[in-house]
């Protein structure tokens, strides 16, 4: 069987929150396949090394690092403008930028709540709306990053779960509205992924995760990047408005023996 349908060679992609973790893995995976990637984060110094790694490697895709706070609409508009100026268009938008912290609901300040919602929800809104014209020019792809916390809820992360639930709903709604424009909108909801942040909180590093092991509840950034690659490729052409959960073995209650 041919595997050509899994490629996205020749496209141009923006990956937000790409200075490390899942975003950096997605950007590198796209570049491996010949995609020119624009990678952004709030600090130029954080995103430059990722772009340099891509540019100095033998990956066929190029990279453009851009400093961008996704909660700032003017900065987002400048990001889109820089992308089109550098690469001539935009085909894939990956809304990966996000933030979270753990706190009891009673202890979350109004500012803390607004900050998490602003980054996760408004950031996704800003980037997607700003990119609309270019994504609709020839048919584009939007891949949103949510979380299982946005599907099932998560103790001590009510603000984050609520924000990611909004991203899931936005995915479904926008996929319907933009389908006639030839744009596919889908979402990935990861469970625990072995990033530096998770390692600091849970003490589990990516080196300890075996991708061949089925019975686990910890994934790698590359596994999420593989899923993004699939959703950006023609192989997923009949998948529209879906949120794909990547969390390993699901949590289910054991049924008592009868």
Looking at residue 31, its pLDDT comes to: 97
Model pLDDT for residues 119-172, shown as the tens digit of each residue = 999 999 999 999 999 999 989 999 999 999 999 999 999 999 999 999 999 999
Strand order in the sheet with 141-145: 63-67, 36-41, 12-16, 92-95, 141-145, 184-190, 243-246
Looking at residue 157, its pLDDT comes to: 95
Given a cut of 80, whether residue 251 has pLDDT beyond it is no
Alpha-carbon gap, residue 45 to 28, rounded angstroms: 18
Q: pLDDT category, 4, cuts 50, 70, 90?
A: confident
Model pLDDT for residues 45-103, shown as the tens digit of each residue = 999 999 999 999 999 999 999 999 999 999 999 999 999 999 999 999 999 999 999 99
Task: Look over the chain and give the mean of its residue pLDDT values, rounded to a whole number.
Answer: 92
Domain ranges of the chain: 4-246
Which listed residue (125, 156, 160, 238) is catalytic? 160
Q: Please tell us whether the domain made up of 4-246 is placed in CATH 3.50.50.60.
A: no
Alpha-carbon gap, residue 21 to 197, rounded angstroms: 9
Looking at residue 201, its pLDDT comes to: 60
Take residue 245 and report the two structure tokens written for it. Answer: 């959960």
Give catalytic status of residue 238 as yes or no: no
């Amino acid at each position: 069987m041919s595997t050509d349908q899994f490629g996205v060679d020749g496209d141009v992609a923006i990956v937000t929150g790409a200075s490390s973790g899942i975003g950096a893995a997605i950007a590198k995976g796209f570049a491996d396949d010949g995609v020119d990637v624009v990678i952004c984060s709030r600090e130029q110094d954080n995103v430059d090394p990722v772009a340099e790694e891509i540019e100095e490697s033998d990956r066929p895709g190029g990279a453009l690092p851009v400093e961008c706070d996704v909660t700032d609409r003017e900065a987002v508009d400048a990001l889109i403008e820089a992308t089109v100026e550098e690469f001539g268009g935009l085909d894939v938008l990956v809304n990966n930028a996000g933030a979270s912290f753990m706190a009891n609901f009673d202890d979350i300040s109004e500012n803390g709540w607004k900050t998490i919602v602003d980054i996760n929800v408004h950031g996704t809104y800003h980037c997607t709306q700003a990119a609309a014209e270019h994504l609709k020019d020839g048919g584009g792809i939007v891949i949103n990053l949510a979380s299982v916390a946005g599907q099932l809820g998560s103790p001590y992360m009510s603000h984050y779960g609520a924000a990611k639930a909004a991203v899931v709903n936005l995915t479904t709604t926008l996929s319907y509205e933009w389908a006639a424009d030839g744009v596919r909108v889908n979402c990935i909801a990861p469970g625990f992924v072995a990033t530096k942040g998770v390692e600091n909180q849970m003490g589990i590093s990516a080196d300890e995760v075996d991708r061949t092991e089925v019975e686990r509840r910890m994934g790698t950034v590359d596994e999420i990047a593989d899923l993004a690659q699939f959703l950006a490729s023609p192989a997923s052409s009949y998948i529209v408005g879906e949120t794909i959960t990547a969390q390993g073995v699901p949590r289910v209650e054991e049924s008592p023996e009868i």
